[in-house]
């Protein structure tokens, strides 16, 4: 019989090609069902996992977490303002592109600050750390200046793949014997995606509609890079990547670390040591359930307005994952 690690790898490969096939066959319905059915459970699984990995006391990392929370809130508020201005045609196209470039640069600088605060223990001085990480800052800034919409769109498409990296870190922590098999089966993701693009590019498609653009991108300006592309192909790619992301959080990680047996949030160490946080966490979970019901009903009643809110929350979700990425690198 196959070992558990081989079954796990085979399941990932089979799921990748299955997702690609469904996304190519019916991109609209596949994406819609993916977001509506798996979006809520994925948010719960991810929220619980992040809480389970937080330290019970911040200690010397207080500056890191303060910068992380403050930066995420500020970036989200700016995103809300910029999106509303752009949707209501309150700014010119050139002004919107400049605002997008500025927002992207703030995101880059925030990530640079987080890297300094997180990795400073590795270096003898802050100066040596800044020198070491400056090339990354320069490359990211150059890419943003060269094409701010392209930079934003790249973040939109690459974000779902972050779940694969988190799964790799989790396997190293709980299932080290599975890591090598997991690395090999990851090849199925680009192969399935390439096949999907090749097949969908041969089919005729209309210019992307406003509704599909809104569902496709966390930033409306970035979608303008491909005005003549097939909306079906773009939506199929997005749906495939989202389903991979949701599958990692809802199925793969709970199976790998057996967290499905420990589903209750109130028993996590960070809440056991800090009971005052429990009402906040419970309130967030209740609001999450209400938000799912709101989006299900709202998309039928007023698509444009509800989708604008969804895009904003999706941006906050993606930004909030950045500090955790740095935290996972050292934990």
Residue 43 phi, psi (nearest 5): -65, -40
**CB 326, CB 133: distance < 8 Å:** no
pLDDT of residue 208: 45
Phi first, then psi: give them for residue 207, nearest 5 degrees: -65, 145
94 alpha carbon, distance to own chain's centre: 28
In the predicted structure, residue 214 carries a pLDDT above the cut 50 = no
120-169: per-residue pLDDT in tens? 766 666 677 677 778 888 888 998 898 887 787 777 777 777 888 888 88
pLDDT at 130: 74
Cβ atoms of 134 and 115 within 8 Å: the answer is: no
- pLDDT at residue 39, as a whole number: 78
Q: Give the pLDDT score at 195.
A: 92
What pLDDT is stored for residue 115 in this prediction? 84
At residue 258, the 3 state secondary structure works out as coil
61, 85, 146 from 90: Cα distances, Å: 41, 5, 25
Q: What pLDDT shows up at residue 189?
A: 92
Weakest mean pLDDT among 134-143, 177-186, 243-252, 288-297 = 288-297
Number of other residues whose CB lies within 10 A of the CB of residue 321: 17
d(CA 133, CA 277) in angstroms, rounded, equals 35
pLDDT on residue 121: 64
Global pTM value: 0.76
Q: Helix, strand, coil shares of the chain as percentages rounded to 5?
A: 85, 0, 15
Q: Considering the chain, what is the average pLDDT of its residues? A: 76
What's the CA gap between 323 and 140, in Å, rounded? 17
**Among 82, 33, 58, CA closest to 299:** 33
| Rounded average pLDDT over 57-75 | 83
pLDDT of residue 223: 46
Contact 10, 2 (CB under 8 A): yes
């Amino acid at each position: 019989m196959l070992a558990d690690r081989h079954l796990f790898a085979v399941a990932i490969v089979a799921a990748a090609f299955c997702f690609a096939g469904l996304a190519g066959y019916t991109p609209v319905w596949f994406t819609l069902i993916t977001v509506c059915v798996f979006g809520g459970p994925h948010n719960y699984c991810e929220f619980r996992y992040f809480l389970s990995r937080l330290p019970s006391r911040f200690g010397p990392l207080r500056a890191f977490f303060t910068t992380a929370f403050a930066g995420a809130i500020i970036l989200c508020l700016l995103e809300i303002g910029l999106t509303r201005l752009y949707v209501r045609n309150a700014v010119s196209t050139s002004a919107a592109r400049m605002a997008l470039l500025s927002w992207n640069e703030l995101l880059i600088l925030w990530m640079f600050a987080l890297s300094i605060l997180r990795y400073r223990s590795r270096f003898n001085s802050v100066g040596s750390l800044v020198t070491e990480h400056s090339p990354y800052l320069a490359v990211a800034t150059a890419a943003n200046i060269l094409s701010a919409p392209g930079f934003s769109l790249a973040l939109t498409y690459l974000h779902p793949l972050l779940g694969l990296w988190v799964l790799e870190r989790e396997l190293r922590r709980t299932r080290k014997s599975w890591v090598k098999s997991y690395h090999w089966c990851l090849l199925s993701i680009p192969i399935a995606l390439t096949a999907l693009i090749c097949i969908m590019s041969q089919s005729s498609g209309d210019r992307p509609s406003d509704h599909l653009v809104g569902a496709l991108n966390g930033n409306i300006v970035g979608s303008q890079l491909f005005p003549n592309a097939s909306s079906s192909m773009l939506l199929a790619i997005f749906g495939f990547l989202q389903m991979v992301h949701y599958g990692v959080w809802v199925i793969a990680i709970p199976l790998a670390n057996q967290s499905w047996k420990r589903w209750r949030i109130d028993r996590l160490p960070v809440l056991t040591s800090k009971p005052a946080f429990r009402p906040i966490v419970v309130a967030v979970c209740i609001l999450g359930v209400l938000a799912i019901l709101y989006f299900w009903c709202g998309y039928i009643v007023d698509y444009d307005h509800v989708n604008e809110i969804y895009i904003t929350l999706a941006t906050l979700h993606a930004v909030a994952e950045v500090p955790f990425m740095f935290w996972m690198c050292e934990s």
